[in-house]
Structure 1
Amino acid sequence: MSGRPGRRRSRAPEEEHVNHERWLVSYSDMITVLMALFIVLFAISQVDQEKYIALSQSLAAGFGDGTPEVPPSQLDGGPGVLDGLVPQDRDAVAASTAGLVDADSGLGEQGSTPAPRPSVDPVLLAAAQQEAAHLAAIRETIRASLAGQGLESVVAFRIDERGLVLGLVADDVFFAPASAQLTDTARRVLDAAGPTLVALPEQIAVEGHANVLPVAGRYATNWELSADRATQVLRHLVERDGLAPGRVSAVGYGDARPVAAGMDDTSLAVNRRVDLVVLSDAPERVRELVPAVVTP
């Protein structure tokens, strides 16, 4: 008897084996990249020009960029920003930047990282020295005129980025308290400085200032008092000393611009003042360098 051909049992498909270690490939790649990064960071942290150049060239070659020209680096100890200056210019710039530190760094003169010095254009520096010498010559001329009348001690001179400042401390020497009336000493000082100021080409600014003490009498506030004092000085220079009206201006700042802090007699006296400013007509970039190169 013939049997019925049996049906072949279909084999169940085998389940695909899951590779649970596939993450090791990505992990290995990440570790390799990190190792290369740390090697690069370590290499460039070493102040060695030869190693720096070799690393730069090898990286460029590895990435298929050929061997490009190595850019200049600050590690080579090459010329600095002050090269090209004459020795006296170097000394002037060094003196003007000595002791400067980044206020946020917390590093002082004993810090391990010196503060960077600003770049100084030799042309600008030479122009600043010339302007400082010009302002100093004006100062000495006026000082000599005052000395001839025994008044050199009642005027404070300074040279800043604006120009030459003649400080007339507004105490009893120049003005009576709470008054804008010029004293005899104030008139003598203005008459002594007047001829020099008249002969100059620069503009003259007359700036009135006051201390923080409230004023009494005819003036409502220190603004009016400081403005009136500046105006009286301007009028004397124009009406008595012949200064051209188009070259002079007057402004009152009240107590908004003190030069000394505190409530002691000295601070109150120096803040109650009138400043005569010979305004420098040099470019702003030159005027910024003047205080660093001016001679006492």
Structure 2
Amino acid sequence: MSKKTKRHEEHEEHADESWLLPYSDLMTLLVALFLVMYAMSAADAQKFEQMSQAFSSVLNGGSGILNESSATPTQSNLDQGKGEKLDNVVADNTGESEISRLRKQEQQELEKLKKQFDQYIKNNGLTAMLNTKLNQSQLTITISDNALFASGQAFVKDDSRQLAKSISTMLQQFPDYEVLVEGHTDNVPINNFNYTSNWDLSADRALEFMKILLLNTNLDPSKFSPTGQGEYHPIADNSTAVGRAKNRRVEVSIIRKYQDAKQPDDVISTTK
């Protein structure tokens, strides 16, 4: 074999290996890519959901990534919400139970006071001039104007002042109640030296009677209010003399503190 042929064979034994370099680089990149993809797939699902909600909030006009309203509520937050609702229900039930107890106590007090008034009216022969009425809003003592005043006047008669004092003595047993003293007239116009309207007369009668009640220093004046109702709240027909006589009156009302709105405001008991 010639020398030239031998050299040619030796040259063919050394093939070109330059392609290995880009191949190794490609393998390295693929490995890195798979590692990154694996790391992403293993991320915390809850954090990914929060991040998703945060981005959604931003895209929809939210206040930002840290906006708490955009985060998914956790179980602990849900449990806390349930606990707060339960506490509110318990508090409401406790409050309603206490109000029911106080309402029952108030009913007993007003019934006791009504019995005292009724007994006083019976013992003094005043059934024609006084009566009591207890309903869902108040206990009312109605006094005919003939028992208290001269016609067209607001000055309480001397023999009627004892009536006011007796009422005040019974009221002092229950000092926490608001007391409303109202004057009422019939619809016959009045125009004398002292009064130019039934408004004026009814207001003065309520005020004068209240003043006598408050001579009892055991009563709290801040609990009392006088009001003139004039002819505008009649309880009888003004077309008859009997009806007009019933409409001329003074009412002393002890106002309930715990009124039950669910119950109709009808009469519970009355004395005539």
The reply to whether TM is greater than 0.5 is yes
Amino-acid identity (%): 23
Q: CA RMSD in A?
A: 2.9
Distance in structure 2 (CA, Å) of the matches to 1:241 and 1:293: 31
- Give 1:252's aligned residue: 228
Distance in structure 1 (CA, Å) of the matches to 2:267 and 2:222: 31
Q: Structure 2 length normalisation: TM-score?
A: 0.56
1:167 is aligned with what amino acid?
A: T
Distance in structure 1 (CA, Å) of the matches to 2:167 and 2:152: 25
1:188 aligns with 2:156: no
Q: Which one of 205, 211, 225 corresponds to residue 186 of structure 2?
A: 211
- Give 2:256's aligned residue: 280
Q: Which is richer in helix?
A: 2
- Give 1:20's aligned residue: none
Secondary structure at the residue paired with 1:285? coil
Instruction: Pick closer, same or farther for the CA change 1:241–1:149 going to 2, 3 Å.
Output: farther
Alignment coverage as a number of residue pairs: 174
Distance in structure 2 (CA, Å) of the matches to 1:126 and 1:235: 34
Check conservation: 1:156, 1:166, Cα contact below 8 A: yes
Check conservation: 1:227, 1:253, Cα contact below 8 A: yes
Distance in structure 2 (CA, Å) of the matches to 1:187 and 1:290: 32
Q: Structure 1 length normalisation: TM-score?
A: 0.52
Alignment of 1:63-212 (within 5 A): 131-171=106-146, 173-200=147-174, 201-212=176-187
2:236 is aligned with what amino acid?
A: A
1:253 is aligned with what amino acid?
A: Q
What's the offset of the Cα at 1:284?
A: 4.3
Which has the higher mean CA deviation after the structures are superposed, 186-195 or 267-276?
Answer: 186-195
The structure that has the greater radius of gyration is 2
1:139 is aligned with what amino acid?
A: K
Which has the higher mean CA deviation after the structures are superposed, 148-157 or 191-200?
Answer: 148-157
Check conservation: 1:204, 1:278, Cα contact below 8 A: yes
Check conservation: 1:209, 1:257, Cα contact below 8 A: yes
Instruction: Pick closer, same or farther for the CA change 1:242–1:187 going to 2, 3 Å.
Output: farther
- Give 2:208's aligned residue: 232
Instruction: Pick closer, same or farther for the CA change 1:260–1:126 going to 2, 3 Å.
Output: farther
Secondary structure at the residue paired with 1:254? coil
Distance in structure 2 (CA, Å) of the matches to 1:192 and 1:216: 33
Alpha-carbon displacement from aligned partner over 1:42-90 (angstroms, at most 9, x marks no partner): xxxxxxxxxxxxxxxxxxxxxxxxxxxxxxxxxxxxxxxxxxxxxxxxx
What's the offset of the Cα at 1:194?
A: 1.2
Alpha-carbon displacement from aligned partner over 1:238-284 (angstroms, at most 9, x marks no partner): 12564221111101011111111232111101111110001111134
What's the offset of the Cα at 1:228?
A: 0.1
What's the offset of the Cα at 1:169?
A: 1.2
What's the offset of the Cα at 1:292?
A: 6.1
Instruction: Pick closer, same or farther for the CA change 1:293–1:148 going to 2, 3 Å.
Output: closer
1:145 is aligned with what amino acid?
A: Y
What's the offset of the Cα at 1:196?
A: 1.2
Check conservation: 1:195, 1:241, Cα contact below 8 A: no
Distance in structure 2 (CA, Å) of the matches to 1:294 and 1:150: 20
Secondary structure at the residue paired with 1:199? coil
- Give 1:243's aligned residue: 219
- Give 1:117's aligned residue: none
- Extract unaligned runs of 5+ from structure 2: 1-95
Instruction: Pick closer, same or farther for the CA change 1:127–1:253 going to 2, 3 Å.
Output: same
What's the offset of the Cα at 1:237?
A: 0.7
2:136 is aligned with what amino acid?
A: E
Alpha-carbon displacement from aligned partner over 1:100-156 (angstroms, at most 9, x marks no partner): xxxxxxxxxxxxxxxxxxxxx999998766644432211111222344444354211
2:118 is aligned with what amino acid?
A: R
Check conservation: 1:181, 1:232, Cα contact below 8 A: yes
